[in-house]
Amino acid sequence: MDMARTLYSRSFEGDTYARGKVNEIQVSPKHAMEIASFIRNKRISEVIPYLQQVIEGKKAIPFRRFNRKVAHKRGLSGWDAGRFPKKASRAYIRLLNSVIKNAEYLGLDTENLEIVHAAANRGRAFRGIFPRAMGRATPKRRETVNIEIVVREVQ
């Protein structure tokens, strides 16, 4: 499978920035966008444990944009609608660990990293079919997502 290489949507200059990107992972674009908006401007040391609790079903991600018919969840401050996007949370944890390793390689203090940019964009959709009765078929699409994260060392 040939993966598309996409550039970062923003450029950051300076030696206090580290970044990471993953292309065309098969998670829900809506879930990935909601997680990106939630983790933006937070510290990595807070985000990774929170996403671990999302995977365990203990804490929810607030759904602010894609929230039609999304039930209220306990423990959300400042918002009511939320879900537990487990597959997307696993993908984000892997990417955040990669960003931490990139920051370590650049000589940054990995305890004081703040996420300054987090974005999720729809990638290519893979086409497929559902076989149906009487020789018919229904098309289906596997959606993919490109996620990028940039962190900065703060004091």
pLDDT in tens, 104-152: 999 999 999 999 999 999 999 999 899 999 999 999 999 999 999 999 9
User: What CATH number should be reported for the domain holding residue 22?
Assistant: 3.90.470.10
CB 116 within 8 A of CB 85: no
* 11 within some domain: no
d(Cα 40, Cα 143) in Å, to the nearest integer? Answer: 23
d(Cα 22, Cα 27) in Å, to the nearest integer? Answer: 12
* 109 within some domain: yes
* 129 within some domain: yes
* 126 within some domain: yes
Domain of residue 66 covers 17-153
* 3 within some domain: no
* 9 within some domain: no
d(Cα 55, Cα 5) in Å, to the nearest integer? Answer: 29
In this structure, are strands 137-153 and 17-25 parallel, antiparallel, or unpaired?
A: antiparallel
Split into its structural domains, the chain has a count of 1
pLDDT tens per residue, range 62-110: 999 999 999 999 989 899 999 999 999 999 999 999 999 999 999 999 9
* 86 within some domain: yes
